[in-house]
Copies of this chain bind each other. A is one copy, B any other.
Amino acid sequence: MRPLEECKIGIAGLGLMGGAIAVALRETCGIASENLFACDKDSETLKTAQNTGLISQGFEPERAGEMLCSCDVVFLCLNPSAIISFLKKWESSFKSGSIVTDIAGTKGSIAACAENIRKDIDFIPGHPMAGAEKGGFENSRLCNFSGKNYILTPLSHNKPENIEFLKKLIYRMGFGRITEVTPAEHDRKIAFTSQLCHLIAAALIDCESDTAITRFGGGSFEDLTRIAMLNAPMWTEIFIENRDALLDRIEQFETSLDELKLLINSVKAEELEKKLESVRDRRIQMSS
């Protein structure tokens, strides 16, 4: 791979995360705008990105191939199913030797798909753990990458030097920690830290119809439900795609909640306090 400064980088999908990656590449990594390209179905977004000097050229979806054939690095910043369709449709257009990565919140089916594409494209699946509750390109600057987690699920045939190249780029974008795991392990862990949390937030809002309830908020309700302002099509895909791992996690959570409920219902104060102490201790350990 040529030096980063000389790489041409393409972003497929200038939504919240695609936009945030473009901003980080330009402003944090110092990539020249002449080396940055994007394709998106929204021509206004492409115009804005070009007029503000974020990218040098925008491509409408049907012209994605023209972008891909010249790019050394490509970020696929689409919904999970769209990433797979995009890979299949444009497989022949990627530049030989290019590094391709994605941002999807589930990795199993994308990794399986990537195992079967052209061997001269190095697809390294990834997941930047840095969203924002408001979606869309216009909110890209709400994504703060500084110090955040990034998960990579490298495939057995990925070239070590390409993984290293991508990791350096990720750190240069501001991320603080990269964890490498298998796609299956990613999906099990993320089912808990991300999907279950979003589902709980959704259930909390679903079970309360009083929109003036925020008069009684002291921070915890707001913290637990901020992510309920979710991108419904994307999360529908993610929940269903990763449903096996997610359903396991929901059941584990329900078991714990039921146990706490039982202690409360049966007024077992001593056991409840002991349980809450252990929760507190574990959460403190998790912080470090």
Contacts and interface: CB of A to CB of B under 8 A. Distances in A.
Nearest to A226: B223
A179 interface: yes
Contacts of A278: 206
A208 B192 contact: yes
A3 interface: no
Interface string A207-245: 111010111111111011111111011011101100100
Q: What range describes how many residues of A lie at the interface?
A: 35 or more
A159 B285 CA distance: 49
A216 B267 contact: no
A230 B280 contact: yes
B130 A286 contact: no
A21 B131 CA distance: 36
A262 to B, nearest CB: 10
Interface of A: 129-131, 148-149, 151, 177, 179, 186, 189-190, 192-194, 196-209, 211, 213-221, 223-230, 232-233, 235-237, 239-240, 243, 246-247, 249-250, 252-257, 259-261, 264-265, 267, 269, 272-280, 282-287
9 contacts: A190-B216, A203-B256, A205-B279, A205-B283, A206-B279, A219-B227, A220-B227, A230-B280, A240-B272
